[in-house]
Structure formats: structure tokens, C-alpha cells
A and B are shown apart, each in its own frame.
Chain A
């Protein structure tokens, strides 16, 4: 190997190492939120929900009576944010702390719902789907370029039987074939 080639080889390794370190935080965020969002048909990746249902005696109640009865069953904040009759059978009452009370008149049921954001995942997912826009776009663009560099530079990192011409090449090919199989299923 010529001296110039050796220098380039060493530079590539150093850059790969340093960019790899830089990418750790971003990779954790995107990988964890990617897993969480991939399965959003099976669970809510952003919020955990607490639900309780209480059956009331079947009798006519005004919204004030519903509210006062609800306090006997659930721990509700003192002040409500607002209330709304969705239809003649369904009353929704909104409280702070993402708490909702639903009264189903025809079934004489009180439904209590409290939604709590998942502390880390809510934020990771927000970053993954770019809720913030602004500077986060630039930061995640840079991360994408870093990933691209890490992928391409890896091809020239190792020589010999673990390099691109032998084992590395086979693994790279597998890594291309798997997405290619799915690629052609997209119309």
C-alpha cells in the first residue's frame, strides 16, 4: 500500500470512528422511536391510557348531577376545562391533566380516561416524525449524511478475509437484497 493510500485509509478509519461517536445519541433516538412507531397498530407509542368504567343506577341525571356523582367514583381535578354533549346520550367533561369523563346516558355508565405522555418515547417519537421542524430539520439532515458516510466508509475499513471482497461483500449483499425484496412490493 502506498503512503498516500495508507493515509487515506487511516483518515477514513478516524472519521468513521468520530462520526460514529457523534451518531450514537441520534441513533438511539431514531432506533427506539422507530421500533415504537413500527408497532403503533398494536399499542399507543406516545401515551399510556388509564381507563375505568363505573355502572350507575338507571335514572335521569342532569350534567351537574353526573359531575357530582363522578367525584364519588374517581379522583378528579377540582376544576373542569369544559363540557360537551356529543349527542343526547353522551356527555364529555374535560379536566386538566389530560383527564376526560364520559357519561353514556343510555347505558348509565361513567367512563374515566386519563392519558399520560410516555416520558421518553413521546419526545423521541416527536423527533422521529419531525414535529419540531426548524433547526431539528438541519440536525437530522446532518445525521442522515453521517449515516450515509458511515455506511459507505465501512466498505473501505477492513482488508483481507473480513473485507468487502470476501465476508464483508456477502454481508453487504444480504443487506441490499432484503430491502430490495420489499422495494419491489411497493407500487
Chain B
């Protein structure tokens, strides 16, 4: 009986531990997400650590998460190559840290229209192409290490 109790308490302790992926995250120097997105050139190719509440997780492959920014209505996607790290759905609502670099990709208007049409085809919902007015730049954070508390 004692052994079972010990095993259960061990399991409970284990589940309450932080989950880590990749390299160790350095929490000593944090860069606010708003600062990172406000001056992209300054942080280009520079390794930084960000912190945020996880607001969304890829439910198919666990290959991305979204962090809430310190600025209202702002979030940043944390993206890894499929299988490099697999983020759990249970991370939603938890505080997480990620060390890595900011990456940006600009898509042309034609590319965005093509993406929207493909998405509409897949989901069966009509695409609102009027919202696509020109090229857009998307930002992603490419982590080398992530910790979910």
C-alpha cells in the first residue's frame, strides 16, 4: 500500500514539473514580445528569450504554439520543424518560455489569395478575399529551447 501511495505521489509530482524541449532556456534575461515585434531589425538573428501565456497549440502535430504578448491583442507564433519538439495541447493557458530567434516571411498578394482559396476548399467555408489588399509579413519565433511551466 505504501509503495502504491509513493508511486502515486511520484506521478503527481512528475506531472506538476515544467516540461522542457530542446536546449535549456535562460530565464534571466527576458525580451518582451512587444519589444521584439516593434523593432524586428534590431533583433534579427539575435537569440533572445521570450515569455508568454500559451494561447493556442497545433492539435495535429504539436509543431507550433502561440504566446500572448505583453501588449494587448498581440501574440507570436512559436514554430518548430515537425517532430523537432512536440508541444502538448495541455500547454494552453500555461506560462511558457522560449529561447530562439525571430523569423519573418513576406507573402505576395497572389500567394495570400492562393492560400485563402486552398483553405476555403479544405474547410468548405467561403474565402473572404476582400480582406487581402497587398503583401503581408508574418513573424514566427524559431526556438532552440522551450519550457512550459
Q: Which residues of A contact B (CB under 8 A)?
A: 40, 44, 46-47, 49, 80-82, 84-88, 92, 94-95, 98, 100, 115, 117, 126, 129-131
Contact = CB atoms under 8 A, between A and B. Distances in A.
B59 A81 contact: no
B55 to A, nearest CB: 5
A82 B94 CA distance: 7
Given A92-B55, A100-B92, A117-B89, A84 B68 contact: yes
Contacts of A40: 60-61
B72 A98 contact: no
Given A84-B53, A85-B73, A94-B92, 15 more contacts: A44-B60, A46-B59, A80-B93, A81-B94, A82-B53, A82-B94, A86-B73, A87-B73, A88-B73, A98-B90, A115-B89, A129-B82, A129-B83, A129-B86, A131-B83
B22 to A, nearest CB: 10
Contact of B75 (A86, A115, A117, A129): A86
Nearest to A40: B60
Contacts of A46: 59-60, 62
B50 to A, nearest CB: 15
A86 B55 contact: yes
Contacts of A117: 89
A80 B53 CA distance: 13
Contacts, number: 50
Given A46-B59, A47-B59, A126 B89 contact: no
A84 B59 CA distance: 19
Interface in B16-33: none
B59 A44 contact: yes
A84 B83 contact: no
Nearest to A85: B73
B93 A94 contact: yes
A172 B135 CA distance: 52
Interface string B94-113: 10000000000000000000
Contacts of B92: 81, 94, 98, 100
B55 A115 contact: no
Nearest to A49: B59
Residue picked from B53, B68, B72, B92, most chain A C-beta under 10 Å: B92
A98 B89 contact: yes
A97 to B, nearest CB: 9
B59 A85 contact: no
Contacts of A84: 53, 55, 68, 75
